[in-house]
Amino acid sequence: MKKVIKTANEVSEQIIQWGESHEIDTCFDRAQRLKPCPIGASGACCKICHMGPCRFVGRNAEKEAKGVCGATLPTVASRNLLRMAVGGAAAHSDHARDMAFILLAVANGEAKDFKITDARKLYRVAEILGIEFGSGRSAKDVARDVALKFLEDFGRQKGEINYVKRAPKKTQERWKKWGIVPRGIDREITEAMHRTHMGVDHDPDNLLLGTLKVSLADGWGGSMISTDITDILFGTPRPVKAEASFGIFKEDEVNIVVHGHEPSLAEMIVDVVSEPEMIAYAKSKGAKRINLGGMCCTANEVLMRHGIPTAGGFTNQELAVMTGLIDVLTVDIQCIMPALVGLSRKFHTKVITTSYKAKIPGAIHIQYDEHRAKEIAREIVKIAIDNYPNRKAEGSHVSQKYPLIAGFSHEYIEYMQGGSWRASFRPLNDAIMAGRIRGVVGLAGCDNPRVPSQGIHRFLAIELIKADILIVTTGCGSHACGGAGYMTPEMALENAGPGLREVCEAIGIPPILHVGACVDNSRILTIATAMAEEGGLSDEIGGMPAVGIAPEWMSEKAIAIGCYFAASGVPVIFGGESPVGASEEVTRIMTEVWFERFKGALHFEPDPEKILALTLNYIDRAREALKLRKYEPGRFGIERVLMDMAARRELERAAKPHLGIY
C-alpha cells in the first residue's frame, strides 16, 4: 500500500511514526479514513430546513437543480459560505467581548491580578475612539471608557462600528457604496443568521455581500478590538527570541501547555510558573523547574509578549500529548480537538477545560474567572506539579527545536523603520516602489491534516521570500514557519532574494515577520492602512502589491478572515477545494465581481504551484497598475537609505534619550 505523507514537519513525522508503532490514532489517520462528502464539500448540499437535506447534483446543476423549496445551487452555496463566515465572526468577536469585559473589570478594580501594561497604547486607542485622556484622567478612567465604547460595538443597532474610521477613506467609500459597513457586531451576526434561514435571502450576490459585511464586523470589529485590548493589558509586542517545536519539553521539568485562544489565563500562568513557592513545590516532587509551552493561538499570544516557546499549531496538538511529557494541557476556546481527552488517557497527561462554553467529556473542568485569575492559575499549575511523579516512560521524546524571533506588532514595524522619532512606513513603501521588495504577503490560517500538514506553508514561505516578497504571518502559518526554523534573520541571508535580503540585513529582521495570533490578522489591516496613508503606493488598501494566503485553512474563522481581507481590498487565495466550488456563479462573484467592486477577491486553489503563480501575478499586476518600477531580481531603483539598527540607536540617544523603544 502506498505510504501517505502526513506532514511536512520532520519532528511531527517522528512522533506520528512512533504513534503508528503504538497503534495511536491521530487526526492524520482520521483524515485518511473519513473522506469528505463531495456534495457537502463543494457547497452543493442544503440542510437548513427539514424538507432536506437537498443535494444539488447532476448535469447542469447550476441552472437546473432545485431544492424542495425551489432554491438554486448558487443560492445554497452562497448561503453556506455566509453561515461559515458567521461562525468565524462570532468566534473571534465573542473572544473580543470577553477581553472587553476583562478590561472593564481591571478599570473598575475588580480584576486585581491584571493591570494596564501599555498605557501608551491605551491612549492611542482612546484617541481613535474620541475618548478624552490626559488632563488628570487616570489610566483606569480612560480604560473604563475604552472598554464601554468597545462593548457598544457589539450591541449597536444603527450607525457603524467604531474602527470603520481607521480604514483608508477610499476603502470606507467602497464599503458604503455597496452597503457593507457593519453596524454592530452582534447585529450583523444575527442578521446573517436570519437571512440564511429557510425562505429569506435567495440572491447569491446579496448573500455574498452579507458575507463581506459580517466578516468586516470581525476584522475591523472583534479581531481588532481583541488585539488592541490584549496589547493594553499585556503589552504591545516587540521582538523577542524564542524556540519552536516539540524539543521545548523537558524530561526533568514539569511541562504545562497552554492551548486555545484567549490570553488572560495563560498570562497568569506565565506569572505563576516563576513564583518561588511554585518552583519549590515542583522541586519537592522531584522536578527541576516548571516549563511552560504554548499551542495554537494562545501560544502566539504568550510567545509574542514573553518569548514562551511554542510546540506548534493545530495539527501538532495531539502530537504534544504523544511526547508523554505533558503534565497538564490547559485549554479554553477554539481549535481544540476533543480527541485530546481520549488520547491523554494513554499517557499521564491531564486535560483541563476552563471555559463553560467549551467543555469536553472526560476532561477536568476548572471554570476560569478573571476576578480570581491568579488563584485559578495556581490551581492549574499545582495539578501539573502533582501529576509530574505520575509521568510514565512511554512517549515519543524528541529533542529538536528551532530558534525564532517573534513580536512584530504594527507599532514595532513602524519603529524599526525609523526609530522613536522618525517612525514611519516610508522605508517599506520606498523599498516596494524601488522594486527591492516586490510585494507583501500575509501567510495565515490553519494547518490541515488533509494535506501533508504545514507543507504548503513551508513551500510558499521559501518561494515567496526568494521572489523578494516580505511575509507577515500569523496563527498556524507562523507555527508552520517557526517549526521549520524560517523565522530568523539568517533565513534572509540564506534564502531571500537580493532586494529583500538587503532590507532585512539593514534592519536586522527576518524575512518572515511573526505578527501574532489569528485575531492579530487585524494588525495586517493596520499595516496596510499605514502603507496607504504613507503615500507612494495605493491610497487605499485595494490596489497594493499585497496578497493574503491561507493555504491549509480548515476553520470558519479562516473564511471570515479571508472575506474581511477581500472586502478591504486584498486578493486572497485559500488552498484546498472550494467550499462553494459547485457553483460557477458564486465563484465568479467572489473573484471577478468582488475584485471590480473592492479590489479584493477570494480564490480557492488546491495546487501550491498555482497559488504561487496567482500570488505573483496579482502582485505584479498591482505594481503595473501603480506604475511602479517593473520588478527585476537584483535591479532596484533609487530609494532612501535604510539606517541600520546601530546607527538609529545612536541617533536616538543623541536626540531624545528619555524616549523608550517604539
Point out which residues bind ligand BF8 (CB under 6 A).
296-297, 313-314, 334-335, 445-446, 475-476, 518, 555, 557-558
Look up cell 539568517; give the residue: 490
Distances (CA, A) of 386 to 129, 130, 345, 378, 463: 47, 50, 16, 12, 47
Look up cell 502530537; give the residue: 319
Grid cell of 195 as nine digits = 437571512
DSSP states along 8-24: S-HHHHHHHHHHHHTT-
Look up cell 472550494; give the residue: 578
CB of 47 to ligand BF8, least distance (A): 24
Quote the CA–CA distance of 545 and 534 in Å, as a whole number. Answer: 15
DSSP states along 279-298: HHHHHHTT-S-EEEEEEHHH
Amino acid at 286: G
Grid cell of 428 as nine digits = 517599506
CB of 314 to ligand BF8, least distance (A): 4
CB nearer to ligand BF8: pick between 338 and 536: 338
CB of 353 to ligand BF8, least distance (A): 16
CB of 473 to ligand BF8, least distance (A): 10
CB nearer to ligand BF8: pick between 320 and 558: 558
CB nearer to ligand BF8: pick between 269 and 507: 269
CB of 27 to ligand BF8, least distance (A): 12
Other Cβ atoms closer than 10 A to 37: 11
CB nearer to ligand BF8: pick between 515 and 558: 558
CB of 475 to ligand BF8, least distance (A): 2
Residues 443, 457: contact at Cβ < 8 Å? yes
Residue of this chain nearest to ligand BF8 (CB atom):
475
* Radius of gyration for the chain, computed over Cα atoms and rounded to the nearest angstrom: 24
Quote the CA–CA distance of 303 and 483 in Å, as a whole number. Answer: 13
Helices and strands (H, E) in the chain, number of each type: 29, 16
DSSP state of 7: B
Quote the CA–CA distance of 599 and 163 in Å, as a whole number. Answer: 20
CB nearer to ligand BF8: pick between 348 and 557: 557
Residues 585, 206: contact at Cβ < 8 Å? no
CB nearer to ligand BF8: pick between 429 and 448: 448
CB nearer to ligand BF8: pick between 448 and 538: 448
CB nearer to ligand BF8: pick between 225 and 518: 518
Quote the CA–CA distance of 339 and 360 in Å, as a whole number. Answer: 9
Quote the CA–CA distance of 267 and 193 in Å, as a whole number. Answer: 34
CB nearer to ligand BF8: pick between 182 and 562: 562
CB of 257 to ligand BF8, least distance (A): 13
CB of 315 to ligand BF8, least distance (A): 9
Quote the CA–CA distance of 68 and 53 in Å, as a whole number. Answer: 9
CB of 74 to ligand BF8, least distance (A): 26
Residues 214, 189: contact at Cβ < 8 Å? yes
CB nearer to ligand BF8: pick between 97 and 557: 557
Quote the CA–CA distance of 426 and 530 in Å, as a whole number. Answer: 9
Grid cell of 412 as nine digits = 514595532
CB of 296 to ligand BF8, least distance (A): 3
Beta bridge partners of 572: 548, 602
CB nearer to ligand BF8: pick between 268 and 476: 476
CB of 92 to ligand BF8, least distance (A): 8
CB of 549 to ligand BF8, least distance (A): 13
CB nearer to ligand BF8: pick between 475 and 499: 475
Residues 6+ apart with CB under 8 A from 485: 244, 402, 403, 404, 491
